[in-house]
Amino acid sequence: MKVSVVITLKKDVLDPQGKVIHQTLDGMGFEGINEIRQGKYFEIDTKENNKIKAEEKVEEMCKKLLANLVIENYKIIGSQ
């Protein structure tokens, strides 16, 4: 089973990279952007075929390594 996870910075954490990307897109003429937050995407291919069990394992991975919960949130966005 392949589990996809997105990790993003929490709302009140400054994201200077997102800000610079935002300014650059503004400069390129893309109008109407409110905000850009940069994040990370992981695709975890596991031997576990049970969706619930696989997602539980990935959640544990997020808590222990993939995300730093002081500044980041994780979200499992799909499993197949």
Partner 1 sequence: MNSSVITFPGSNCDRDMDVALKKFGFKNKMVWHNNIELPKSDVVILPGGFSYGDYLRCGSIASKSKIMKSVINFAKGGGKVIGICNGFQILVETGLLPGVLLRNKYLEFICKNVFVKINDQDSLYFRNIEKKTLELHIAHNEGNYFCTKEQFKEINENNQIALFYSDKEGNVNEINNPNGSIKNIAGIFNKEKNILGMMPHPERMIDPALSGEDGSIFFKNLINNLK
| Residues of this chain that bind partner 1 (CB under 8 A) | 13-14, 16-17, 20, 65-66, 68, 70-71
Our CB check for partner 1 shows the closer of 12 and 45 to be 12
Structure token digits, residue 22:
């935002």
CB of 9 to partner 1, least distance (A): 9
H/E stretch holding 18: helix 16-27
CB of 16 to partner 1, least distance (A): 5
Our CB check for partner 1 shows the closer of 52 and 70 to be 70
| Dist CA 77 CA 34 (whole Å) | 23
Q: Cα-flanking dihedrals φ and ψ of residue 49, to 5°? A: -100, -15
The answer to whether 5 and 62 have CB atoms below 8 angstroms apart is yes
CB of 66 to partner 1, least distance (A): 7
